[in-house]
Chain A
Amino acid sequence: MVLGALLLVALLLITFDYRDGSSGPLRGLQHAGGSVFGGAERALSVVTNPVVAFVNHGTGTGSSGQVTALQQQVIQLRAQLNAEQLSKAQYQQLSQLLQLSGRGGYRIIAANVIAVGQSYAQTVTLDAGSADGVRMQDTVLNGQGLVGTITAVTSHTCTVQLATDAASVVGVTLSPSGQFGWVTGPGKTASGSGLLKLQVLDANIVLTPGEPLVTYASEDNRPYVAGVPVGVISKVVPRGGSLTALALVRPYVDFTALTVVGIVIAPPAQNPRFSVLPPGPKPVPTVTVTVPARPSATASPSTGG
């Protein structure tokens, strides 16, 4: 039976893919498929992206879109307000984080979203690949904050696992308290249009809505470089006896309207993990001072450096 044979093949593929992980013959298959379809998607996106932009912003979601935009503004303003309220030491710490990109020698290349994952998947494809220096587990961000990390690369395309993916786990730091925690994606759910879930190990910590989060450094800067804004706490969930504090985080990034993103392709030679950050080069403080003067400092920290 053809059906039986095909089903068997499909099941075998699933099994092998599950067991092989990041290696195995299926990777070759995937790579080949990615090259072929990726190239086609890349070519087609030239046509579709403008249409998508028009549809989403023209007719799109109408008033609800405006509401969303206003919410985004509120979030950004709140984040800025929080930044203003930080203690001097904390502020220096945060500003350093935000400027890690510039100081640490990150190189960010811009890429366009050319394809979006099917149904439940929280993945997108970008039009930059290994030919552009993109590697697995590079950090992806945009003007608002953390977008995700690279999970697959072909010569001219790469796939990003969004921070909202249910399989995504991002180490974060609460900027005011310096507490460590991790954020997991909600997958595709209606609740709060993709609120991330924050868990903090310190059982005694008191989480408060409005607290901003930035990524915590990862080993070798993969999958996430440090200091990328993630979001703000929007709601604290009653602990209910669990050992970890739980809160919902509203991400800075609008994951439903990704267009241009940046890929961090050149981590600094020196490991800039938060905990071992040097006080900061002397020239930098000057720059730091200018940051608050610009309302958009949070949005584009790299310009300061």
Chain B
Amino acid sequence: MRRAVLSVIVLAAALLLQLTFVNQLQLPAGGAPDLVLLTVIALALFTSPATGAVTGFGAGLALDLAPPGSYLIGEYALVFCLIGYLCGRIRPLLGESAVLTIAAAMAAAAVGDALSALIGRVISDPDVTWAAVRYVLPSSIVEDVILAPFLLYAVMRAVRFADGLLRAPEDGGMLLAHARPALAGGRPGATVLGGAGLLGGAGWVSGPQPTRGLVGNRAARRAGAGRHPRSPRLRGAAARPGDGWIGGTRRTGLRHTPPRPAYRGRPPRLHLSSGHRSGRIAGGIAGHPGSAAARAARPRMRSQPDLRLGARRRRDGSVGRSLGSSPPPGRRAGSGPPGSAFRGPRSAGGRRRGVAGYRAPSRDRRFRPDRRLRGGSAIGGPAGGGAAAWRRRPVKRVSLRFGRSRRRGGVIGGSVIGGRPVGGGSRHGTALRGGAARPVALRLGAPRRRDGVLAGLAPRRRFSPRRQAVPRFRSGPSFGRRVFMMLGAPVRPLRRRRTVFGSGRRSLAAGWSSRSSMSRIGTRRTGGF
């Protein structure tokens, strides 16, 4: 709700400012920046595809109806709807990276301008002549691309501000309510997480949360004051490009996702269906980015929180795997598959499993990183049974987090899960272990996508204060991969959807993602190894 209200307010402001101010400016070139488009992009980049589409549609329709109006009603609604959806779709690929998010916003702005021109041509808008397009389009694209990061930041700030306003009163009630009583306990961190979920799980929100971990003190203070530490922060994102804001959010979102009871009770499949809800509400956000992953995660969450975490972090295939491995047997194929696949030995099986389990897919992709994969995979194997353990043992979860703190620690995650020192994780794993004392660090890892483990760990909630893992830009290698993902991912998700229809969004998405990731991972790994 908060997000919805905020979106309406922000979009209305952008719309009015656009029509009454920006369009009147005599800019050197023919084009004018499109604040509404940029706002839609900024909002959609932190929500699920469905929410993004709705946001875009609403904004576009408002632009069509607002006085000067468009040539035909529905023109901008169509364009912005598509852009909003695409942004929501891309989100998972961006992970926690601020750079990638900004790049995505810029790209989306350019695409949006081009698309609006194209639609204008298609519907024979008399004003959209080729001459006009040649004159207006280049300059408007340039202006939009330049403004995109600023608007992104502005929207983030707005979200944070809104969160701050609303949280104080609601936090206690809503957040806590969402959080599991048992897990969350009375910890402020838990509330925080829950709050993030409420927000929508938007990457922003989540982003801040992890940051908080770093700023544990702040979070604590806020919590003490009755505020939620969640507020989205660009800083956090910026600080850790690689850090999976997403992961944090997603988790939160998942957890927060409306009805936990439903989760537990529901079978995985149901989750798929339920995924819609969660997506919309708060979870939507979390789920959105990794839409596929997130969705999948939710179901898992309900059944097994740990698994989801792993799932959330794509790269953390290891984590997820480990988690997945354990759950798979009991659960559906989805849980088990991803992890197994990654590991060299089980690769074949993993793929299969991965296919079966649609949910895990997103995670798999991230596995790509050799480092992670290795560690993760190794861990994953043993961890398999870990999921169950997690549930049982909240304390252990903490330790797991440590491992998580290190991305590469995918291993760690595995270890954590397994409760053992996973061999795979060994590199980091050992280190991690040592770091176990550093629960905080673990959380940090969690924020990082790859640390699927962390995500998987529900514990974060408890630890949340500590989590505030330090953002890391490291993801250099991963960055390249991410870019690749960005380019390639959108297509895949679509495909996935198509095939999986029967199972439902999540399942579909998950399945797709898993497949693609699995296959890729397997190949790479094999080659690498």
The residues of A with any CB-CB pair to B shorter than 8 Å are 1-3, 6-7, 9-14, 16-18, 26, 29-30, 32-34, 37-38, 40-41, 44-45, 48-49, 51-52, 55-56, 60-61, 65, 113-125, 152, 154, 157, 159, 165-167, 186-191, 256-257
Contacts and interface: CB of A to CB of B under 8 A. Distances in A.
Given A120-B125, A122-B127, A44 B66 contact: no
B527 interface: no
Contacts, number: 197
A208 to B, nearest CB: 26
Nearest to B49: A3
Given A118-B19, A120-B128, A9 B77 contact: yes
28 contacts: A1-B50, A7-B81, A10-B78, A11-B78, A14-B73, A14-B78, A18-B123, A38-B66, A41-B67, A49-B20, A56-B26, A61-B28, A115-B66, A116-B20, A116-B24, A118-B70, A120-B125, A121-B70, A122-B127, A123-B68, A152-B67, A187-B127, A187-B129, A187-B131, A187-B132, A189-B131, A189-B132, A190-B135
B116 A119 contact: yes
A232 B141 CA distance: 34
B23 interface: yes
A115 B71 CA distance: 16
B132 A157 contact: no
Contacts of B134: 190
Nearest to B279: A2
Interface of B: 12, 15-21, 23-26, 28, 30-32, 34, 49-50, 53-54, 57, 60-78, 81-82, 85, 116-117, 120, 123, 125-129, 131-136, 140
Nearest to B119: A14
B127 A167 contact: yes
A2 B77 contact: no
A29 B73 contact: yes
A48 B19 CA distance: 10
Contacts of A45: 20
B67 A115 contact: yes
A195 to B, nearest CB: 12
A21 to B, nearest CB: 11
A11 B54 CA distance: 15
A37 B65 contact: yes
B253 to A, nearest CB: 17
Contacts of A10: 57, 60-61, 74, 77-78, 81
Contacts of B132: 120, 166, 187-189
Given A14-B74, A41-B67, A120-B127, 20 more contacts: A3-B49, A3-B81, A6-B54, A7-B78, A10-B61, A48-B17, A114-B20, A115-B23, A117-B68, A118-B18, A120-B132, A120-B133, A121-B127, A123-B68, A125-B19, A152-B69, A159-B68, A166-B127, A186-B131, A189-B30
B389 to A, nearest CB: 38
Contacts of A188: 30, 127, 132, 135-136
A122 B117 CA distance: 15
A30 B76 contact: no
A30 B69 CA distance: 8
Contacts of A52: 21, 24-25
A188 to B, nearest CB: 5
B25 A37 contact: no
A17 B63 CA distance: 15
Nearest to A160: B68
Contacts of B81: 3, 6-7, 10
B65 A34 contact: yes
Contact of B69 (A3, A60, A117): A117
B23 A118 contact: yes
Given A3-B50, A6-B57, A167-B127, A37 B62 contact: yes
B47 to A, nearest CB: 12
B127 A257 contact: no
A155 to B, nearest CB: 12
Contacts of A7: 78, 81-82
A185 B19 CA distance: 21
B74 A41 contact: no
A44 B24 contact: no
A2 B53 contact: yes
B11 to A, nearest CB: 12
Nearest to B18: A118
Contacts of A34: 65-67, 69
A190 B135 CA distance: 6
B119 to A, nearest CB: 9
A114 B128 CA distance: 23
Select the residue from A116, A125, A152 with max chain B CB neighbours within 10 A. Answer: A116
Contacts of B20: 41, 44-45, 48-49, 114-116
Nearest to A41: B20
A187 B126 contact: yes
Contact of A17 (B60, B68, B72): B72
A166 B126 contact: yes
B78 A159 contact: no
Contacts of B68: 115-118, 121, 123-125, 159
A201 B34 CA distance: 41
B16 A40 contact: yes
Contacts of A165: 126-127
A225 to B, nearest CB: 23
Contact of B73 (A13, A41, A48, A167): A13
A37 B123 contact: no
Contact of B85 (A3, A123, A125, A152): A3
Contacts of A55: 25-26
Contacts of A190: 30, 134-135
B240 to A, nearest CB: 31
Select the residue from B24, B71, B81 with max chain A CB neighbours within 10 A. Answer: B24
Contacts of B30: 188-190
A159 B34 contact: no
The 9 closest A-B pairs by CB, nearest first: A33-B65, A13-B74, A116-B23, A10-B78, A37-B66, A117-B68, A125-B67, A115-B19, A2-B50
Contacts of B85: 3
Contacts of A17: 72-74
A9 B76 CA distance: 12
A222 B64 CA distance: 26
A190 B77 CA distance: 27
A124 B28 CA distance: 20
A190 B134 CA distance: 9
Contacts of B128: 120, 187
A18 B71 CA distance: 9
A33 B68 CA distance: 11
Contacts of A119: 31-32, 34, 116, 136, 140
A12 B81 CA distance: 14
Contacts of B65: 29-30, 32-34, 37
